[in-house]
Structure 1
Amino acid sequence: MVNTQNLSRQRPGSACEECRRRKVRCDRRRPQCQVCFETGIECKISTTRLPRGPRKGQLRTLRTRIAALERCLADQRPGITHQMAALFDSPEIECDSEEDPFRDLAALPEPGPEIFSDDQQTGGRSPQSPEAQSRPSGLVSDLMRADLDQLYFDRVHPFAPILQRWRYHIWTKQPKKSEAQVCLQYAMWTVAASLSAHFQSLRDTLYQETRRTLDAMDLKSPTGGILSIEQAQAWVLVSIYEYMQLSPQQAWMSAGRCCRLVLGMRLYEIDDPNSPLTMARDHEPSLIDWTGLEEQRRTFWMAYSLDRFISFHNALPYILNEQLIATRLPAPEEDFQAGHPTITRFLPEVMTRGVSNDHCSGLSSFSECIILATICGRALSHRQKAAVEQINGDVVDEFWTRHQWLHEMITFRIQVLSASAQVDPMLIFARIVAQTLVLFLHNVLESITWRTGEHVLGMLEYERLCVMAAHEIVNLVKLQGQLGYFKELLECLQDLDRVKNPSQSPGLSV
């Protein structure tokens, strides 16, 4: 007996071209189906089928046109008829699909909020120029914004903890945002999109819009524009994106602009005890916006860390002067997100030689990365001074004093980090950086030409430590890869020419 459930609902064969065009069911009769027979046309069948669905880019083009039309209608601009005609002036869009090509238009991006800027003369808020209003604010729909925000806090925030989550969600719900706030959102979405296969197609457009807005705000600053924390945070994220996706050189340039901005905002002296602002906070602690203050601290320290790490990668001078910093280290992440005020130490307190484990306990993982960034900066200066000392023929003992201090500090930090029971991706990253510095210092030793017998014996011990460090880096990179964080950052770190060259660093030749 024939199983009727396995029979096709239609007669075998392909539908004719006329039935496909009309999107009706073809009875597949031969030599002529019923539809072609009734209309008196030739019944043609094509065995070559085009891919189903709209062509690549067609839906995006439709979304862009419709979103632009909606903005025109919402703004009620003059000459809208001509703008509508221009939007549809391109060639007709064809679709060779049996399915409805407009099935996805229900999820069209809605127009973004109108962007306002501070009016310095009136003290109010005024709309920006038509050029600014024509920005692709409808590029990201409300649903996409929610997804990108979630991606940001899941994948970006763990290595760039500069935003307090609930504070961010509060100001994002405001109907009108400042230009700096919108720019920060685009920067957040840029980095988030770069770490997601689903949103990869958006990352370049988001990055270009972020850079365009940042450049525009930089041009306004000399004419009375107000520097905002969101602007500095956007530069931090742009530097990270460029470091991961473009080039360390481009990231170094952007990190420099970010550092100049935090210097202009005087974020390096937030907790200066002699500052009038600090004294006022001590007098009226109940009036302190602790969360906002901590965001400023974290933004400064993130700029500081990028300044050190990216300069270290490029072997170029850094900008921020460690000796001028009077800002406390970041609070633990749990206290920051919960809004609990916490008093932390200053950087010199934890950089002092001979500190105890008790003195360094309780530091956040972010603070540990800042300490390693500081050692990176000192190690880079050590190498640069060594090159000058060889030229000038300075005393060897000065070099070895610096070198021994750096090695002792790195060894101590490795011990502190290894004793931590947390499986924190930022702590693991700090451990990788610490072991990389062991390799770097060995490379500095190999670069010197004035060696005594005593120093050569000391170098043999450093070479043994270098080999151990290389093995530890391999293990930590594997562990970090399992956690899924810092993949791109680790690839950049592994690309350090002064570390990866086996002829210069025996530790990586094993």
Structure 2
Amino acid sequence: MTSPTSIEKGNEHIAIEIDRGYSSSEKLVCLLHLTLLVCILSNPLKKQILSLCHSTEFLRAKRALPGSIHYSVIAMPSPDSSLMPLRVCDRCIRKKVRCNQARPTCSRCFELGETCSYTSVKRKPGPSIGSHYGSNSSKSRRSSGSQDFPYKRRNSPSREAPRKDLSSDEAAPASEGHILQDPLGFSPPVTTANQTPTNVSHIASQIIFTPEQAEYLLESYFDILQDANPIFSKELFLHRYRSCQCSEDLISTILIMTAKLTGFTVNEDDPIILDTCLDQILSSSILEDDLIGDILSLDQFRKAFILAFYEFHQFPGHQAWLRVGRVTRMAYRIGLDRLDHIRTLYPDWNTVSPEDIQEWKSLWWCLYRLDTYSNISSGTPYLVDDSVICTSLIQSHAVQPSGASNNSSELFLQPKSEDLSKVLLAASSSPETLLMNVHNITTAILRQAGLVFRLNLPRSQEAIGAQVAKVERQLATIRLALPPGWLNPRRNAFSDESHADHHARTITVLHLRMAQLLLSIADTGLRQGDEWLLSWQNVLETSQDIASIADQWDSSFCLAVDPAISFTIFTAMIFLDLHKKATIMAEHNHSSDIDHHITVLHLQLQHFARIWTLPRLLKLSFESFSQSVSGPLSHRHITLILSRFEAPLHPRWLQFLSSANTVLADCQ
């Protein structure tokens, strides 16, 4: 049972349904979070906000709220229309999909820009009785007389997508052409936990991929997220897939997620089916994760990580944060944080092949990155303790002829963060894994800066000042230990650097700039007078450096890199906007330069927002901030805003956005 809360403006009406069991304070928190999306109906961004509210992601984003607060949004043209009886429209009945039954346009028809139509006679959703039954011969005739329809893809790679055989608008039964059918020869992994009744294989039966399409999507997976999600050795994974050695659930998850991200569709219903499958996989996998226990199932952990990564970027919020934490604790339970140590102690790990050990290590370091992004963005402590990690960095996916690993070349993150530059120098001797290891090392220094930034408020000024100086020294040594030309924002053409490697290197440079930005912001809060002005100038300088890197960005690589870099873009935009509106900038003629930097970063964020929900929300958050915070801003105003900026996704920051005008007006 729900209790509706509504906001009205003219002839428009937004009904927000919140569970009646929640207290008034919980409802207030829920509404404050909604202000980021549906706060002011007179806002110039109203159309964009309402469009996002009706998107599939938003309608299924109940998990994005803190705690267990859930809500639904219903848009209606006028309060009178709410009196009309709720009913599923003809299109949703015909397509067998769920909608919010809003009038005059439900959520599904709104996405397609259509108006709902209703027959005079009500009938239950689904096809007519008996339509599912037919002889086997009729099914075989239907599949044999098929036609070819090309898939439509967004950002298609150079290779041509395979065509799919369809005989009618109806989807064929799950037994025909299913991705888990015998012709592909999938077999369960050797070490697999008990399957839950609702597993991915069952959910994936709603989608039909031919073997050629499955192969194509798996190849496409390695064109996307490889920098952000390198949990596979491509050659080894594809070899095992073609040898029928991969988990069905893992393959199904990869195919569905890749099809969703790349826009792999045949007809208008495919995006809806993909959304439904992904939602079911995310929901059912929670129970599956709890059943893994201590069983060494590499594919299950890969699937758990992929879903955590996807949910964090596509449905950012409390539930996604909890999922990342759950997977991290699963890794600790198995011992991925001390993999090189437990291999010598336990027989079950000692029998794991060297190739799989490298795969486990890759999975651990990807989880290390995800732990960093999820907690820096939320303003919460890391779950991974850098000082006790006993899993070495990746040196090479190649295995020696003897089958043993070369222990003498193993590199570890040192317990003392001051020694990161030594690890970086040693990692430079392995060009094959240099980008991956530099990414992990720059993530480590970003974690140090994020820790200082988070401790800025409760600690004394002297302690924070010492920590800022310490991490800045580490940052300086890391910059100097990088290979020549590494910090160059442009592609190193003389070194024959590929475009993909250039953007992967750019992400590591952005890590360093973000670390410096967090340190500069923390230092600004400690200073007074001329020292404050110098620190405030450092914030501007670093934000401009981030924008200069964005100048060289190629939007075609937005799927190939980690979308969590959006937090860096967002933070730089916030402080560039503050500098533009600060009273001190009136003495300098830098307004046009700052406008250019903001425009570049905004466009870069917009490219990510076309794919992921996380940058889409950050984009709206910045636009809301920029409009609600007007200049000129005094030193006192800036100090107040700095104290409220705990993290981009922190609830108190989102609440501040909804009342920034009032708070700043009271600060005179």
TM-score range for the pair, normalised by the shorter chain length: 0.5 to 0.7
Cα distance between partner residues in 1 of 2:126 and 2:245: 27
Question: In the TM superposition, what are the counterparts of 1:56-455 in structure 2 within 5 Å?
Answer: 89-90=128-129, 103=147, 104-105=166-167, 108=172, 109-111=176-178, 112-113=180-181, 134-137=202-205, 139-143=207-211, 144-173=213-242, 181-199=247-265, 201=271, 202-221=273-292, 226=295, 228-247=297-316, 249-272=318-341, 275-277=344-346, 289-332=353-396, 335=398, 343-348=409-414, 352=419, 355=422, 358-361=425-428, 362=430, 364-390=434-460, 394-395=462-463, 397-409=465-477, 411-412=479-480, 417-418=486-487, 421=495, 422-423=497-498, 424=501, 425-448=503-526, 450-451=527-528, 455=531
SS of structure 1 residue aligned to 2:576: coil
Cα deviation for residue 387 of structure 1 reads 1.3
Please say if residues 439 and 508 of structure 2, whose CA atoms lie closer than 8 Å, have aligned partners that are also in contact.
Answer: yes
Q: Distance in 2 between matches of 1:395 and 1:484?
A: 39
1:468–1:102 CA distance, 2 compared to 1 (3 A): closer
- Secondary structure of the residue aligned to 2:393 is coil
Distance of 2:230 and 2:421 partners within structure 1: 30
Indicate the RMSD between aligned Cα atoms, in angstroms: 4.6
* Pair 59,145 (structure 1): closer, same or farther in 2 beyond 3 Å: farther
Q: Secondary structure of 1:386's match?
A: coil
CA contact (8 A) 1:305 1:370 kept: yes
Structure 2 CA distance for partners of 1:129 and 1:210, relative to 1, 3 Å: closer
Deviations 1:190-246 (A, max 9, x none): 431232122471532342343244223234346xx7352222211221122223322
Q: How far apart are the structure 1 equivalents of 2:290 and 2:342?
A: 34
Q: 1:134 to 1:184 in 2, by over 3 A?
A: closer
| Structure with greater contact order relative to length (CA < 8 Å, sep ≥ 6) | 2
Aligned-partner SS, 2:231:
coil
Which residue number in structure 1 is paired with residue 99 of structure 2? Answer: none
Partners of 2:287 and 2:348 in 1: CA distance: 36
Report the structure number with the largest CA radius of gyration.
Answer: 1
Indicate if the aligned counterparts of 1:439 and 1:470 stay in contact, CA closer than 8 A.
no
Amino acid at match of 1:472: S
Instruction: Tell me how many residue pairs correspond in the alignment.
Output: 406
Q: Residue 269 of structure 1: CA displacement?
A: 0.7
- Aligned-pair CA distance for 1:295: 0.4
Indicate the SS of the match to 1:348: coil
C-alpha contact 1:183 1:234 (8 A) present in aligned 2: yes
Once residues 285 and 477 of structure 2 are traced to their aligned partners in structure 1, the CA distance between those partners, rounded to angstroms, is 38
Indicate conservation of the 8 Å contact 2:361/2:392, yes or no.
yes
The residue identity in structure 2 corresponding to 1:381 is L
CA deviation vs aligned residue, 1:12-60 (integer Å, no higher than 9, x gap): xxxxxxxxxxxxxxxxxxxxxxxxxxxxxxxxxxxxxxxxxxx989998
- The aligned amino acid for 1:244 is H
Structure 1 pair 496–235 and aligned structure 2 pair: CA distance change class (3 A): farther
Cα separation, 2, equivalents of 1:431 and 1:274: 34
Do residues 496 (structure 1) and 570 (structure 2) align? Answer: yes
Counterpart check, 1:462 vs 2:507: no
In the superposition, the TM-score normalised over structure 1's length comes to 0.65
- Cα separation, 2, equivalents of 1:352 and 1:278: 33
Shift of residue 268 of structure 1?
0.7
Distance 2:424 2:382 in 1: 30
CA displacement at 1:126 relative to structure 2: 8.8
Partners of 2:241 and 2:438 in 1: CA distance: 31
CA gap 1:379/1:116 in 2 versus in 1, 3 angstroms: same
Structure 1 residues 461 and 210, CA gap change in structure 2 (3 angstroms): same
Aligned equivalents of 1:503, 1:327: Cα separation in 2: 42
Change (3 A) 1:216 1:137: farther
Looking at structure 2, the residues matched to 367 and 378 of structure 1 have their Cα atoms a distance apart, in angstroms, of: 17
Report deviation, 1:315.
2.2
Partner Cα separation in structure 1 for residue 291 and residue 235 of structure 2: 30
CA contact (8 A) 1:443 1:499 kept: no
Report the secondary structure of 2:445's partner residue.
Answer: helix
Listed as ranges, the gaps of 5+ residues in structure 1 are 1-54, 62-85, 94-99, 282-286
More helix by share: 1
Relative to structure 1, the CA distance from residue 159 to residue 125 in structure 2 (aligned partners, 3 Å threshold; closer, same or farther) is closer
Whole-Å Cα distance in 2 between the matches of residues 248 and 278 of structure 1? 40
Q: For 2:548, give the aligned amino acid.
A: E
- In 2, distance between residues paired with 1:207 and 1:436? 32
